[in-house]
């Protein structure tokens, strides 16, 4: 069987320390698919990266055929088909994710260019490093050889958080909560959608009758969950982010279950909800399992959702303005 070559950037960091071992264990492509790991971090963290490779070797994972490490994006990206762009600075207490743009945006200029030079047109690229929507926009802009529809930004962690909160409130199992959408930015303006979510196949609003909770505590809990984790742990989410990254990539390579969908930041061009063009915006999506994500049409946008979606769209436009010099 042909080896799948997977790039993880920020490979000496926290998220990677969970993500790599799960990919190596078969949690991405299954237990029959051999994998090569291509690991990128900055030269300063070369020693840590060597240590990570030693540990991967010492696990003796049967699926792992090769572990390549380095700090040159072109060297590491070459020949790979699946990309997790994680490497970027995380925020600390009191910061918003967009405060990271100043430091992180340039990483995605460099890596977009490297993708353009050496990656296959068939590559699928998931941007995790924050602020992930705008970083994803930057990377795709600098990689015109790769279709924009192959770039994604991660709102899966928010989806998972929302699913969990709805299941607790409704007192049902997690698997009974479906069709959870996160609209917009992976930020404090994101819109966790309870209007179109389902619980036991019924409208979530017919099961959870406490509209005040849905519009209030539920929405703000999901919007601020990242900060809540940072305040508790002193560091940003890592294992749950790695788990979400795997879930997001699997959503692209496995057909979506009938009647369900997943949330993903995708290029907004010609979207069916009138969101401005040339943004990376999270929508409800379905996939045929061929690395594609098609936006689900016809969802109900009630006045509450409409107002909230306008706010998150405005924030993404502001972020894009802040990096306009990098998009020329
Ligand atoms: P971390 O600081 O533990 O690790 C980041 C790693 O990236 C470091 O090893 C650093 O050296 C490396 N790095 C920096 N610049 C790089 C470059 N140019 N090329 C390659 N590697 C580079 O941080 P972490 O906790 O792993 O988080 C990584 C990013 O993911 C942060 O921006 C964080 O905010 C973001 N994040 C996103 C989500 C999401 O849901 N989208 C969730 C959690 C974290
Ligand atoms: C998260 O949602 O946990 C991450 O984006 C990290 C953060 O800065 O909140």
- What CATH number should be reported for the domain holding residue 199? 3.90.110.10
Is 112 found in the same domain as 211?
A: no
Q: Is the CB of 154 under 6 A from ligand 2?
A: no
Domain of residue 95 covers 4-153
**Residues with catalytic annotation?**
186
Q: For residue 158, give the ligand 1 atom closest to its CA.
A: 40
What's the gap in Å between 279 CA and the centre of ligand 1? 22
d(CA 307, CA 220): 15
Res 328: pLDDT: 86
Res 1: pLDDT: 85
Point out the residues of the chain with pLDDT beneath 70: none
The reply to whether 277 falls in a domain is: yes
Is 164 found in the same domain as 234?
A: yes
Res 98: pLDDT: 85
Is 77 found in the same domain as 165?
A: no
Q: Is the CB of 104 under 6 A from ligand 2?
A: no
Nearest ligand (C-alpha, residue 9): 1
The reply to whether 327 falls in a domain is: no
Is 189 found in the same domain as 147?
A: no
Q: What is the pTM of this model?
A: 0.98
Domain count for the chain = 2
d(CA 223, CA 190): 6
Nearest ligand (C-alpha, residue 243): 1
CA distances from 20 to 52, 53, 282, 303 (A): 9, 10, 25, 42
Res 216: pLDDT: 98
């Amino acid at each position: 069987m042909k080896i799948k070559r997977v790039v993880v950037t920020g490979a000496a960091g926290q998220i990677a320390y969970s993500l790599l071992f799960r990919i190596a264990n078969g949690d991405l492509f299954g237990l029959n698919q051999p994998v090569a790991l291509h690991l990128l971090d900055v030269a300063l963290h070369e020693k840590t990266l060597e240590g990570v490779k030693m540990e991967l070797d010492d696990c003796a994972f049967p699926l792992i055929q090769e572990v390549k490490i380095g700090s040159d994006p072109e060297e590491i990206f070459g020949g790979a088909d699946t990309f997790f762009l994680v490497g970027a600075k995380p925020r600390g207490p009191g910061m918003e994710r967009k405060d990271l743009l100043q430091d992180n945006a340039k990483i995605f200029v460099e890596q977009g260019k490297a993708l353009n030079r050496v990656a296959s047109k068939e590559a699928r690229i998931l941007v995790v490093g924050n602020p992930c929507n705008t970083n994803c926009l930057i990377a795709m802009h600098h990689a015109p050889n790769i279709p924009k529809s192959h770039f994604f930004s991660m709102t899966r962690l928010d989806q998972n958080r929302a699913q969990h909160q709805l299941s607790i409130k409704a007192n049902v199992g997690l698997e009974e909560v479906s069709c959870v959408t996160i609209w917009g930015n992976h930020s404090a303006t994101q819109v966790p959608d309870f209007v179109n979510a389902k619980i036991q196949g019924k409208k979530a609003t017919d099961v959870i009758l406490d509209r005040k909770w849905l519009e209030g505590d539920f929405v703000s809990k999901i919007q601020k969950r990242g900060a809540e984790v940072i305040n508790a742990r002193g560091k940003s989410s890592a294992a749950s982010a790695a788990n979400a990254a795997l879930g997001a990539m699997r959503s692209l390579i496995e057909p979506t279950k009938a009647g369900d969908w997943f949330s993903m930041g995708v290029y907004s061009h010609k979207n069916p909800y009138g969101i401005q063009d040339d943004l990376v915006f999270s929508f409800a999506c379905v996939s045929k399992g061929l690395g594609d994500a098609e936006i689900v049409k016809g969802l109900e946008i009630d006045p509450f959702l409409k107002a909230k979606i306008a706010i998150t769209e405005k924030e993404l436009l502001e972020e894009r303005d802040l990096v306009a010099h990098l998009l020329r």
